[in-house]
Amino acid sequence: MINQEILREYDIRGIFQKSLTLKDVEYISFKLATIIKETQSHQIIIGHDGRNSSLEIKNTLIENFLRFGIDVYDISLTPTPISYFANKYFKIPNLIMITGSHNPKEYNGLKIIIDEKPFFGDRIKTLNQISNCKESQSAGNLYFKSPIEPYSIEILDRFRDINKLKIVWDPGNGAIAPIIHRIVDAIGGYNIILNRSIDGTFPNHHPDPTIKKNIFQISEYIKNHSFDLGISFDGDGDRVGIIDENGELIYSDIILLLLVLDLYKEKKDITAIADVKCSKILFDTLKSKGINILMSKTGHSLIKEMITTKNADIAGEMSGHIFYKYQYYGYDDAIFASLKIINLLNKSSQKLGEITKPYMKSASTPEIKLHCHENDKSEILSNVIDEIRVTYANQAEIKDIDGVRVESKDFWFLIRASNTQNCLVFRLEHFDFANFKIEISQLIELLKNYKLDISELTDFNNTI
């Protein structure tokens, strides 16, 4: 039996050898082997990030898949976007990427594609209901392939010699570090790479580039050495954080807004997707341009599915995932997105801070985590939503796409359940700066009555 707690909405995630054990990994391989055996291709690609536990997990998966007659293609240590590329390039429809993504070093997990489709939602949550696969009379074969070279050729053919800027790159000791070396050699400009070695302990900072305290090092480097741009990545290279010439983190929804507007110059009938955590400025600006902008639930697998069903050209999340379907593959690739930003800036006479200034019309929180026990999360959220519906019934529009998003002409806020961590997620944006703190204080009063650790929210409130 797999520990049900690690079976999340859009991937499998837990603390290695606590909530996610090698026995869990073994059971997962049994269940997935059963599913794969029911498809036409009995092959799977397995890649992994640089975390200390990733090799043990990979070896356990390989051993069991081979026992069940599944051919395994080991692509070794690679960023998540390049594992997705391998899935397309090698035409092997099944994939497991072993990664803890942006989580702390003790975490790990599995991102899964089966039969060329993201494996998520009820398919993950009901894995325990699937019978274990029977061992095959003939073992599968193990092959070793590297997608790094073909990926580099494809990407750099699109972006060669695009750069006239001074850029600081921060792979954050994550799996993306080696490919960054190839990129900076090809794009031109003046480039510096921080934290360039792969180290699964993440000794320099936590591997989430969308949190301000994690970009302190690169921010200071930009300010002290007069650089034009900073680009930071998470542990497996599918989230990007963009820092302007002033050392300021530009929230990912504003980056998405710039990229959609840039694409609109090339393709007028585009459809874009942004998740429920994104700024109202993004939605209102794109609607005013006549762009078809859709709001989605949060989650890389959910967005990839929506890209397919809505035939969208570009999508993004507040968490730093950017997806290009137009003239690309439709998966989240932080390398591709960062090169698009560089290309955009090199076509402009303005610096990034100048380009984003017109969209800085509000005061907003970052993505704030309200920690709780995993088993209590669903009930707490349900009760919070009930109270919010009553409290804000006559003040705002209430949307229930993912958790609850409350929108008025002056502000909006979101409370939803995280699918990767044991917490609720909160974000507030206010267009009346004088009332920003008042609205946060009112919501703190509401939330403190629940079994939530709201210290991250109260700490933020104390700084404004």
Q: Which residues are catalytic?
A: 101
What three-state secondary structure class fits 400?
coil
How far apart, in whole angstroms, are the C-alpha atoms of residue 197 and residue 268? 42
390: tokens are 């009553």
**408: amino acid identity, one letter:** S
Q: Is 79 exposed, middle or buried (0-12, 13-18, 19+ CB in 10 A)?
A: buried
Q: What is residue 134's DSSP assignment? A: P
How far apart, in whole angstroms, are the C-alpha atoms of residue 176 and residue 237? 5
Q: Is 202 exposed, middle or buried (0-12, 13-18, 19+ CB in 10 A)?
A: buried
**Full DSSP string of 338-395:** HHHHHHHHHT-SS-HHHHHGGG--SEE---EEEE--GGGHHHHHHHHHHHHHHHTTTT
Q: How many residues does the chain have?
A: 464
